[in-house]
Structure 1
């Protein structure tokens, strides 16, 4: 809870000019001390996580032109750079973090002569423009550039491709349009390319060179069409491929299975079609998707049955590792070095800012898969989430799903599953979300510690189910019986009918029939409303 009381310029503060590092993080500051003008040897300045507003004063760049190496002004309320300079001369700058402010206008370009790697973070501001030659002015040592969550529009400056040392480029959550420049995948040094939530359209670059070093490609939520280029297999180190929520029209890219480092594959909400199939004979001894830990193909047009051999190859999902595991990252020493994904887990859309190496998930929902759910899924003992809802799977629920000891979310709703719910599911002690609704399941709902936590919604739409938590009780044979109140109402209706019949064939009979019909109509309406609910 520090406050700044500025005095007249020139007020002598002993030794202030000798300060080389000043770190005032999260101190509730509301202004930059003017006295810092006299800190002529400042090397490190960190004023992040305060409440400083207004303009970033120009004297900071002038006074520390030859000294400042690390400057962090993130998470404040700065609105602009004084005099709106397009170029900032800071010869020894290594790290400049202006993220999470209210800065607008054109993205400033720092001119440096340092030999060290340079990191620039302008994310979470309101910058609206970037000059076409932006990349040509940047130092050739710039390895990290984050412009995400701004208001940038137009085409990506191709001058960024001249940056031979650029390893991480994050332009996500802007208004960029046009095609994804092929230069970003042609012999580039890029390792992480994040372009999600923009307006890119057209097809992906078809000719990706042998020298591709990309480990992460995130193009989620754009308007990209066409097919996934087979030359993507030249990116041999690829770990994350997210092309969800586009307009890609293609069959399942089975050839990606040979990429031994691929961990996350997101194809959600496109126009993929056909069957997924299983590994071919040539793949029988290969590592087919062996490192995959997250696969999301939801909301496409996939069809056909699932080959059990396909799941036999998911070796990483079979490894029941102990502990929490490490966060997947290209470089965990920098803010944007972690892999981040938007996933639907436990029925909720979540953004994972860290993905642990131990987290495993499969989402095949909202397609047209049919046939039986393969028993081989039971081998994926490290699985945390399994979603196969809104398909046409038939047959019974595999009892082997009870072997998925780490399972937290199981969604099989709106299929054509029949038979009893396996008792083995009650031993899934981590299961927090269960949805078996709207199938053709029958018999008594298994009782167990975890199942006692689930409500009617987990089982509704299965007319043949009975037992808790449903109000429909089971008889000795395990089938449902009407509850006592419904039976007594039926008996009352029958008695009334006979009383009126006995009192005379005329008016009495007519009244009895009318009462009986009205009573049945009310029951039908209630049943219909319950089904709709």
Structure 2
């Protein structure tokens, strides 16, 4: 009996102890579970990414939740990156006191960052990148002494950068780029010797870049681009021996760039573009740059004088990207003569918009072994384009627009099978149309504008060439040349891309991309083209942008109805040729057309009424032709001015003052009313005479004596009918005019 009693006591005591332990464990779990559920209440979850957040599953197994091993049942990681969530960050998040990692990047969270974040004293990594958060960065971040990474970029945060961040001695990664932060560069950050990455670009920071930045001895990434920083670039940056990236472009920096920084031993990326820096570059910069340098970008400044020795510059073994464009360099480009051509890894070279003269060096041909982008436009270069592009050429973008180049287009360019943009406009090149360019399967943009090309652009025989020419061409500009013959519409109708109306859901810009440790570097191709009646300098061109410009040539004949097959067209310019015949109604099939210019030809006939269905048409120019008839009404035609129709005397209707069907000799309104009144009286008299005449005939049959007087009545009838006839014709004419 005693043994049984002892057993009962032990079992009962164990049960109470287990209940006590379990209760404490459940209570311990409740804090985190309830905090998460409260956090979920404030979230908009259209795709049910958090459907597992319910009581049927232990919260440690919920999506995005990780609990600790040492502190079991406590949340140490909350990772909801890219779950397409919205809503606000609930203050209840401050109850997750064991949280180490907090990731909600790439969502649509809005509102302010709650002050309760400061309670997460164990937090090491926080990433709210690419949301729509607003308000100021809370000072409470300074309480999280363990934090190592803060990533708040790509939001709408405002105010100044809090000084309390200077207390975070373990912080090595700080990215606040892409917000609306203002004020000065935070002085308190100089205390953080552990900082390796500072990204404060694309904000509204002001003031100078302080010399004391050199105290951050472990810094290797400095991004301050896209602010309003002014003053000079501090020479003390040279003391940062670990610095690999300096990105200061698009500020208001001035003065001379410290030459010592070109020799910075660790430098791999130097971007100073879009500032007001001036002075000369070291002539031997190619010899002094560190061999690990990959990017040199100093475009859109005030640098002048002689250009660096290009051959030595492009021979830097790691150098891939060189942009010296939009400066004031005035050197002779062919002053560099090299008999040998050593290997180079250069992929991008932009010397455009300077004052360079001379000829394009022949050794440029050997650069294109790896070169993808060569931009020499808007200089004073002369001579021929070197015919030195060998098989395996990797050129994708070749631009020499706006120089004084002569001779024929280099035939060796057909070896560049990756070519997407070929722009040789505004030069003095000559020769017939380069049909051999058909062999470039990736060509999207071809600009031969304003040269001395001549001859017909005739359709090639399909029997001789079974493939479709220019399968990817979207921009075709041969304006301001001397091409002759019929419009090459039958030939152009073989270009598949001009007829393809399938618009991709996600259209891209014509660009060149390069992948590096900085991520994907993208160069979006700018073009200056004639579109919508004006010359446009487009910073970037979407792949689906499709235009044809054949203006200011010597094309003759009519416009073929086949033009209606080019359904992808957004712009069409056939102006200033010698075209005759009527405007084909098939133009109405170009439903995406935004600009149409047929001016300065000899077109005749009426404007097809079907063109009124072109609902995207923004610009229309039909001036200086021989068109007649009524201008189409409705839709976009209500928006065009008189200038669209000038020089066509036979046109009528809005917006012209001439109304359709109204004679130039039309009487004034008062006179017209008087004539209408006279007509009414004459009609009334005539009716009475007819009635009298009929009565007289009847009576004359019965009583012959009255015949004599009725004959006299007939003479009166005839007189009044003669008076009525011309007025009746006049009235019919007016009625016809109103109907028309």
Task: Give the superposition deviation at 1:342.
Answer: 0.5
Cα distance change, pair 454–483 in 1 and its aligned pair in 2 (3 A)? farther
Give the distance between the partners of 2:341 and 2:216, measured in 1 at CA: 38
User: Which of 423, 431, 451 is residue 637 of structure 2 equivalent to?
Assistant: 451
Task: Give the superposition deviation at 1:50.
Answer: 3.0
User: Which of 343, 357, 361 is residue 543 of structure 2 equivalent to?
Assistant: 357
Check if 1:71 corresponds to 2:246.
yes
User: Is this contact kept in 2: 1:399–1:422, CA < 8 A?
Assistant: yes
Check if 1:240 corresponds to 2:421.
yes
Alignment of 1:36-75 (within 5 A): 36-61=213-238, 63-65=239-241, 67-75=242-250
| Secondary structure of the corresponding residue to residue 377 of structure 2 | coil
Gaps of at least 5 residues in structure 1 are: 7-11, 490-533
Give the distance between the partners of 1:396 and 1:324, measured in 2 at CA: 39
Alignment of 1:375-394 (within 5 A): 375-394=561-580
Cα distance change, pair 137–328 in 1 and its aligned pair in 2 (3 A)? closer
Gaps of at least 5 residues in structure 2 are: 1-181, 672-740
Check if 1:151 corresponds to 2:362.
no
Give the distance between the partners of 1:483 and 1:326, measured in 2 at CA: 59
Task: Give the superposition deviation at 1:139.
Answer: 3.2
| Secondary structure of the corresponding residue to residue 178 of structure 1 | strand
Check if 1:16 corresponds to 2:196.
no
Alignment of 1:203-282 (within 5 A): 203-282=384-463
Task: Give the superposition deviation at 1:164.
Answer: 0.9
User: Which of 310, 316, 336 is residue 491 of structure 2 equivalent to?
Assistant: 310
Alignment of 1:44-443 (within 5 A): 44-61=221-238, 63-65=239-241, 67-81=242-256, 84-85=258-259, 88-107=262-281, 109=285, 111-114=289-292, 118-128=294-304, 129-132=306-309, 135-136=312-313, 139-156=316-333, 157=336, 162=342, 164-186=344-366, 188-322=369-503, 323=505, 325-331=507-513, 337-443=523-629
Task: Give the superposition deviation at 1:29.
Answer: 2.1
Task: Give the superposition deviation at 1:488.
Answer: 9.4
| Secondary structure of the corresponding residue to residue 382 of structure 1 | coil
Task: Give the superposition deviation at 1:472.
Answer: 1.4
Cα distance change, pair 166–486 in 1 and its aligned pair in 2 (3 A)? farther
User: Is this contact kept in 2: 1:473–1:483, CA < 8 A?
Assistant: no
Task: Give the superposition deviation at 1:5.
Answer: 8.1
Give the distance between the partners of 2:506 and 2:621, measured in 1 at CA: 26
Task: Decide which structure has greater helix share.
Answer: 2
Task: Give the superposition deviation at 1:46.
Answer: 1.3
- In the superposition, the TM-score normalised over structure 1's length comes to 0.83
User: Is this contact kept in 2: 1:132–1:158, CA < 8 A?
Assistant: no
Cα distance change, pair 460–324 in 1 and its aligned pair in 2 (3 A)? farther
RMSD value over aligned CA atoms? 2.6
| Secondary structure of the corresponding residue to residue 462 of structure 1 | coil
Task: Give the superposition deviation at 1:283.
Answer: 4.9
- In the superposition, the TM-score normalised over structure 2's length comes to 0.61
Cα distance change, pair 146–338 in 1 and its aligned pair in 2 (3 A)? same
User: Is this contact kept in 2: 1:206–1:229, CA < 8 A?
Assistant: yes
**Deviation per residue, 1:362-382 (Å, 9 max, x gap):** 001111111011222211111
Quote the residue 1:529 is aligned against: none
Task: Give the superposition deviation at 1:207.
Answer: 3.4
More moved, 434-443 vs 88-97: 88-97
Alignment of 1:514-525 (within 5 A): none
**Deviation per residue, 1:125-144 (Å, 9 max, x gap):** 11113332663586311111
Cα distance change, pair 486–191 in 1 and its aligned pair in 2 (3 A)? farther
Q: Bigger radius of gyration, 1 or 2?
A: 2
| Secondary structure of the corresponding residue to residue 232 of structure 1 | helix
User: Is this contact kept in 2: 1:142–1:165, CA < 8 A?
Assistant: yes
Cα distance change, pair 41–381 in 1 and its aligned pair in 2 (3 A)? same
User: Is this contact kept in 2: 1:111–1:138, CA < 8 A?
Assistant: no
Cα distance change, pair 223–14 in 1 and its aligned pair in 2 (3 A)? closer
User: Is this contact kept in 2: 1:382–1:406, CA < 8 A?
Assistant: yes
**Deviation per residue, 1:493-518 (Å, 9 max, x gap):** xxxxxxxxxxxxxxxxxxxxxxxxxx
Give the distance between the partners of 1:483 and 1:291, measured in 2 at CA: 57
Cα distance change, pair 74–14 in 1 and its aligned pair in 2 (3 A)? closer
| Secondary structure of the corresponding residue to residue 600 of structure 2 | coil
Give the distance between the partners of 2:617 and 2:329, measured in 1 at CA: 43
Task: Give the superposition deviation at 1:162.
Answer: 4.6
Cα distance change, pair 191–76 in 1 and its aligned pair in 2 (3 A)? same
Quote the residue 1:35 is aligned against: 212
More moved, 190-199 vs 316-325: 316-325
More moved, 102-111 vs 410-419: 102-111
Give the distance between the partners of 1:158 and 1:22, measured in 2 at CA: 43
More moved, 326-335 vs 426-435: 326-335
More moved, 341-350 vs 72-81: 72-81
| Secondary structure of the corresponding residue to residue 41 of structure 1 | coil
User: Is this contact kept in 1: 2:429–2:451, CA < 8 A?
Assistant: yes
User: Is this contact kept in 2: 1:58–1:81, CA < 8 A?
Assistant: no
| Secondary structure of the corresponding residue to residue 127 of structure 1 | strand
Give the distance between the partners of 1:416 and 1:284, measured in 2 at CA: 35
More moved, 44-53 vs 412-421: 44-53
Cα distance change, pair 445–5 in 1 and its aligned pair in 2 (3 A)? closer
User: Is this contact kept in 2: 1:437–1:460, CA < 8 A?
Assistant: yes
Bigger relative contact order (CA 8 A; separation at least 6): 1
Task: Give the superposition deviation at 1:14.
Answer: 8.0
Cα distance change, pair 27–374 in 1 and its aligned pair in 2 (3 A)? same
